[in-house]
Amino acid sequence: MYIGEQLINPTDKRLRLSAQLGARGIVIDSRPNAPVMADDNVEAGLWDGRKVADQRKWVESHGLTLDCLALDVGSILLDSLREPEKAATTAERLRHNIRAAADGGVDTVKYTVAMVGITRTGVVDGRGGMKCSTFRADEYKAENDARFSYWGTVLPEDETGTKPSPLDARGAPETCGQVMASEAGGVSEADGWRAIEYLVEAILPTAEKAGVKLACHPHDPAYPPGGLNGVHHVLGSLDGLRRFVNLAPESKSLGFNFCQGTIAEMSRNPTETVLEAIREFGPQNRIFMVHFRNIKGGYLDFREAMPDEGSVDMAACIRAYREVGYQGILCPDHVPFSEVDPDRERFFAFALGYTQALLQAA
């Protein structure tokens, strides 16, 4: 195991910082990833294997490895249920980009099965006044969803002191094709599985042929029984994760972007559930990369947290990863937000150092 970072549109300076902090691997989370797109296919979002190789070599020039690229699945899940022709077009793009990743020497791509983004209901103060995104199911309202749900970061306040709604940025890269839950029109459990099965069937054969691992990020957060606004999160439980891997039980290409925080959100006993998941999916070689993050709280009531202050026993998790033979990257993720660290570089540096210390202690 080793520490690494998941970065969006990194610069030379940012990669130097990662290397100086002791990171070994980098996951590029840019969606779309413009530097790897073919010059004549930027609008279509098609990657060029030679440009993937160039990006890989650029990362390697900083003494790092390029472990994974992010596939922009857009709205393919909802489209597979309602606009099949659009879904088919997206699927062909994804197959092309998986082949391009392989051609460029990158053997893992990650994607999310979120249809409605990352649902949050508010922001609360953490230690020292840091801002921590929170999800409390009993506080869910459409207006809270619009204001506080996000994609990877707590949305900063604008000059009026209010947080912009994701609705204001629809169509921008950070929205990744998702919509607010109130606009999804209802997604039953059967619909959710049908959409996920569509995506897996569309891209898994290509990945297997190319020797590329598909790292699936589960639903964040787990939704209550009956869903929210009629939308169900079928990969919001260990049973859901089990059903997912059983879609292709013999495949070496179907596995997880194992988001430890997301799995902790599935249970009122988060440490026990995370350890159970590690010990179940680790020996199956289904953990392709790890978001090594913590939360405070658990199922239907939690906030984001720094790794040392949450409800999950992070040292026990490190020991469990080691126990099952996991040898991949550990990336910090979802650290809180603060006006004194607007780019969160110091917060992520803290998380990296904390993780490295756990590795050395183990």
CA-to-CA dists, residue 123 to 12, 131, 144, angstroms: 32, 6, 10
The strand order across the sheet containing 122-125 reads: 122-125, 131-136, 301-305, 294-298
Contacts of 155 (CB under 8 A, 6+ apart): 148, 163, 164, 166
What does the pLDDT profile of the chain (362 residues) look like in tens digits?
Answer: 999 999 999 999 999 999 999 999 999 999 889 999 988 777 789 999 999 999 999 999 999 999 999 999 989 999 999 999 999 999 999 999 999 999 999 999 999 998 888 999 999 999 999 999 999 999 999 888 888 887 433 344 443 344 444 334 333 334 456 676 667 778 999 999 999 999 999 999 999 999 999 999 999 999 999 999 899 999 999 999 999 999 999 999 999 999 999 999 999 999 999 999 999 999 999 999 999 999 999 999 999 999 999 999 999 999 999 999 999 999 999 999 999 999 999 999 999 999 999 999 99
Q: Which of 306, 307, 308, 310 is nearest to 296 (CA)?
A: 310
Residue 198 and residue 91: Cα distance in Å, rounded?
9
Distance of CA 133 to the CA centre of its chain: 16
Residue of 262, 269, 275 whose CA lies nearest to 334? 262
